[in-house]
Amino acid sequence: MLVSATEMLKKAKEGHYAVGQFNINNLEWTKAILATAQELNSPVILGVSEGAGKYMTGFKTVAAMVKAMIEEMNITVPVALHLDHGTYDGCYKCIKAGFSSIMFDGSHYPIEENVEKTKELVKVAHAMGLSIEAEVGSIGGEEDGVVGMGECADPDECKAIADLGIDFLAAGIGNIHGKYPANWQGLSFETLDKIQAKTGDMPLVLHGGTGIPADMIKKAIDLGVAKINVNTECQLSFAAATREYIEAGKDQQGKGYDPRKLLAPGAAAIKETVKEKMELFGSVGKA
Ligand code: 13P
């Protein structure tokens, strides 16, 4: 069932668990994530970056594929199709394409401009029944060529954006996209605590879910995080399983080169990663 992410995240915040956003790259990813959510009776958010959208030929293709898969696979758990780190133009494209949720990432604009653009997009998204995420304090690491330095967001700026009527808020707390470097300082729970004190019921979003130790994830959920984004970890699992298959020479045996066989171990590995995360986040059985 394609829905906005508003209700599922409100419930998650109240119930002290988090819903995973798993980024999709192609049909295998989408199918694996949807199947796992259904098997575990968990709500799920499918994240699509602008780069991944382009790779899949455009947001219209993505929306059509996801909607059709939900129907053909009899997916009854709540599924949100969400633009990840959207630009202003990207948000409009996804609204038009039939997404059920968008993220406007205005974190690189001066706060006044971030407020102004977010405010406009809140109005448009809500009028069309979509949920909207906004961002304060850019998330570190590199994603689709956008490099952030892993800032800690200013709690007052978080409040200013939260007050615009957004549905959930991504705030930097020292998290970064991709693998964490060996000298990473960890999440700033002090910042998270201050942000939650200013933003109250607002579900908070933790980007860069790959590689954050389980105890930090649990503490972040205790402090108000209700959505956790995971991308790189599924890519790493997929790549490792595919490498193993090829290194074992299985693509050379029989019709092992058939894409349905060649991509199967990678898809199974994604399912395993998604399952582990849903169990850790506490969303199993919450659909
Ligand atoms: P990772 O790739 O580090 O899991 O981060 C995903 C993310 O935050 C997408 O917005």
Atom of ligand 1 nearest to the CA of 210: 4
CB-based contacts of 203: which residues, under 8 Å, 6+ apart? 9, 10, 12, 13, 167, 168, 169, 224, 225, 226, 227
- For residue 167, how far is its CA from the centre of ligand 1 (angstroms)? 19
- Here the tokens at position 15 are 């119930």
- For residue 210, how far is its CA from the centre of ligand 1 (angstroms)? 6
The enclosing H or E element of 82 equals strand 79-84
Query: 143 pLDDT band (50/70/90 cuts)?
Result: low
Average pLDDT, the chain: 95
Ligand 1 contacts CB of residue 165 (under 6 A): no
Q: Give CA–CA dist 251/57, Å, rounded.
A: 28
What's the angle, vertex CA 175, arms to CA 93 and CA 202, rounded to 5? 65
pTM score, whole prediction: 0.96
In the chain the first and final C-alpha atoms are separated, in Å, by 11
- For residue 168, how far is its CA from the centre of ligand 1 (angstroms)? 16
Mean pLDDT of 142-162: 78
| Residue from 82, 229, 280 to probe ligand 1 pocket by mutation (most atoms less than 8 Å from CB) | 229
Percent of the chain with pLDDT over 90: 90
Q: What is the DSSP string of 213-235?
A: -HHHHHHHHHTTEEEEEE-HHHH
84 is catalytic: yes
Ligand 1 contacts CB of residue 237 (under 6 A): no
Q: Give CA–CA dist 145/166, Å, rounded.
A: 26
Query: What are the tens digits of pLDDT across the range 95-142?
Result: 999 999 999 999 889 989 999 999 999 999 999 999 999 999 777 666
Q: Give CA–CA dist 252/277, Å, rounded.
A: 33
Q: Give CA–CA dist 223/245, Å, rounded.
A: 41
The enclosing H or E element of 164 equals none
**Which amino acid is it at 73?**
M
